[in-house]
Structure 1
Amino acid sequence: MCYVCPVCGFEGLPEPAYNEYNEASFEICSCCFFQFGVDDDAEIKNDAYMEREDTHKLYRKQWIDDGAKLMSSFGYPASRQTNGKVKPEALTKQLKNINVLL
Structure 2
Amino acid sequence: MLSQTIKSGDWKGEKHVPVIEYEKEGDLVKVEVSVGKEIPHPNTPEHHIAWIQLWFHPEDGAFPILVGKVEFSNHTDPLTEPRAVFFFRTQKKGKLYALSYCNIHGLWENEVTLE
TM-score by length of structure 1 reads 0.25
TM-score by length of structure 2 reads 0.24
Instruction: Report which of the two structures shows the higher radius of gyration computed on alpha carbons.
Output: 2
Higher strand share: 2
Higher helix share: 1
Higher relative contact order (CA 8 A, sep 6+): 2
